[in-house]
């Protein structure tokens, strides 16, 4: 059962479609995704953190997302997130936040950044289980051949984010 009674939600219009953002009462992002189906985003939140109710609110993270799309790629850096996972997942999610915009890594390179260079499958799993997409930029991890790999919100969104970061970096 969740330790959160209520989550906050705001939707931002972006060039990649509506970005739904959920945060806790302290404005820490729990999950984010490009969809019109808020339930698809909330389903990505770890059950321990999943709220019982949701209410609309103005979120600092939404302002940061608008700034990011406006070209201020560093606007996401100070946004707080809240994730629940294993020690390895937490290390991986922290490492994702250190990948510079416009400088994507391969899954192998990413695995090395969190101290597990042979854990390529774990690296892919860490990306796949990342709920606060954009704010924990799993889109910056690619296959070893440079192809996109996967992305929960679709490869067109991942490609667009990477192109935006290349242009603005």
- Number of compact structural domains in the chain: 2
Q: Report the pLDDT value the prediction gives residue 1, as an integer from 0 to 100.
A: 40
Q: Which domain holds residue 120?
A: 87-168
- Do 133 and 154 have their domain in common? yes
pTM score of the predicted model: 0.95
With cut-offs at 50, 70 and 90, classify the pLDDT of residue 3. low
The two structure tokens encoding residue 3: 């330790």
CA distance 3 to 29: 15
- Do 115 and 96 have their domain in common? yes
**Regarding predicted confidence, which is higher, 161 or 2?**
161
- Do 62 and 133 have their domain in common? no
CA distance 89 to 128: 11
* Residues belonging to the active site: 138
With cut-offs at 50, 70 and 90, classify the pLDDT of residue 58. very high
4 has a pLDDT exceeding 80 = no
- In a domain, residue 1? The reply is no
As a whole-number percent, the residues of the chain with pLDDT over 70 amount to 98
């Amino acid at each position: 059962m969740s330790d959160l009674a209520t989550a906050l939600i705001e939707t931002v219009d972006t060039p990649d479609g509506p970005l739904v953002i959920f945060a806790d009462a302290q404005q820490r992002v729990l999950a984010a995704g490009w969809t019109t189906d808020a339930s698809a985003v909330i389903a990505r939140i770890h059950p321990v953190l999943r709220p019982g109710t949701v209410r609309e609110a103005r979120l600092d993270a939404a302002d940061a997302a608008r700034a990011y799309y406006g070209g201020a790629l560093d606007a996401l850096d100070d946004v707080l997130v809240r994730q629940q996972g294993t020690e390895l997942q937490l290390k991986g999610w922290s490492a994702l936040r250190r990948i510079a915009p416009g400088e994507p890594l391969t899954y192998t390179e990413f695995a090395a950044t969190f101290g597990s260079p042979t854990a390529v499958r774990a690296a892919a799993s860490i990306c796949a289980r990342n709920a606060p997409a954009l704010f924990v930029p799993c889109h910056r991890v690619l296959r070893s051949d440079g192809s996109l790999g996967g992305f929960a919100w679709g490869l067109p969104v991942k490609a667009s984010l990477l192109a935006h970061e290349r242009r603005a970096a």
